[in-house]
Amino acid sequence: MAVRLDELAVPVIAAPMAGGASTPELVAAVNRAGGLGFLAAGYRSAPAMAEQIALVRKSSDRPYGVNLFVPSPPGDRAAVAAYRERLQPEAERWGVTLPEESGQPDRDDWEAKLAVLLADPVPVVSYTFGLPTAEEASALRAAGTLQVGTVTTPEEARAAQAVGMDALCVQGPEAGGHRGTHRVADVPGEVPLLRLLPAVREVTGLPLVAAGGLGDGAAVAAALRAGAVAVQLGTALLRSDESGASAAHRAALTELPETTVTRAFTGRPARGLRNAFIDRHGPYAPPAYPEVHHLTAPLRAAATRREDTEAMHLWAGTAHHLARSGPAEAIVTDLWRSAQG
Ligand SMILES: Cc1cc2nc3c(=O)[nH]c(=O)nc-3n(C[C@H](O)[C@H](O)[C@H](O)COP(=O)(O)O)c2cc1C
């Protein structure tokens, strides 16, 4: 099932959204619209990823993608411990226990996921937070999988081409969720998507997918004019019927006024709706991923249970106020019609 990103019937890719927003139903709905659906394997075990792949295969015979988090080197334990101290009063207030650092590196089941994807290949795999080794990429290529590397700078684009990526997802600073920045401690780039695309084009001839802040037809058309063969939409699909986003997250997308980039929740820079938790703790969060993700997990779970949008992580791109509700198939179809109009 060879797939080319420059030959999609509708050049719209559903962004993989880990943490529950991406569902097999969302993949199938975007596929029905003629786009490319994506599963998010981040935070899932390899068997859980395989289960989701099986569900997609049952509901769609079109190509789809699976996104992987590339593991990062361990963060500074003392800095994580200091952040834990800082969050302690917050934890006491809400009656939650902050986990102690396990000392075990968390590689997001990377090796096991690659083994599953080699044994039972899928049409497309994309990577964020870094790149596979050239050997890993070459094994997946031999299995017939098209591979997409997420990049946020021309330098990362060069590295992605060097390890054998077939296409690049160029993620601008407008993007909702984590920046795909390859090194955890790097300050993420601020060159806007429409200028980043031509800058990346200067260093590579690979097909480019544009991601970040694309919320209406005009924005999609502009990204395609700037050199992308397709666009990757995350926030625009968060309020769709098939999204797994929580009710509080959906409501906040229209209610909260602005987004900001913060390490407060996970240790990696991510764009989310600005709230009190970010304002209080963001400046003190160390660049340690996924250690900070695990540290804040019970705080975030408690905030989600009480639907407290001032303490939840509410990933959203800059165009969040344009996100529509309704079936994802209609959202993609209308957006593409308006982009062509
Ligand atoms: C809730 C949410 C979760 C995300 N999770 C992932 C992920 O698991 N893997 C990934 O590569 N990108 C992830 N992203 C980033 C998207 O791939 C994409 O870059 C971004 O959504 C584009 O910007 P937009 O949200 O303004 O459309 C996520 C984005 C959001 C909003």
Give yes or no for a contact between 66 and 108, defined as CB atoms under 8 angstroms apart.
Answer: no
Task: Please name which of 193, 226, 207 lies closest in space to residue 165, comparing C-alpha atoms.
Answer: 207
Confidence of residue 300 (pLDDT cuts 50, 70, 90): very high
Cβ 149 under 6 angstroms from ligand 1 = no
Residue 113 has pLDDT above 80, yes or no: yes
CA of 212 to the centre of ligand 1 (A): 8
Q: 5-71+106-239+324-340 is classed in which CATH architecture?
A: Alpha-Beta Barrel (3.20)
CA of 95 to the centre of ligand 1 (A): 31
> In this structure, which residue's CA is closest to atom 15 in ligand 1?
177
**CA separation for the pair 146, 142 (Å, rounded):** 10
Q: Where in the chain is the domain with CATH 3.20.20.70?
A: 5-71+106-239+324-340
Tell me, what's the pLDDT at 319? 98
* Span 52-81, pLDDT tens digits: 999 999 998 999 999 999 999 999 999 999
Pairing state between β 230-233 and 208-211: parallel
**CA separation for the pair 328, 239 (Å, rounded):** 9
The share of the chain scoring above pLDDT 90, in percent, equals 97
* Span 241-299, pLDDT tens digits: 999 999 999 999 999 999 999 999 999 999 999 999 999 999 999 999 999 999 999 99
Q: Ligand 1: which atom is nearest the Cα of residue 128?
A: 11
Residue 83 has pLDDT above 70, yes or no: yes
SS3 assignment, position 71: coil
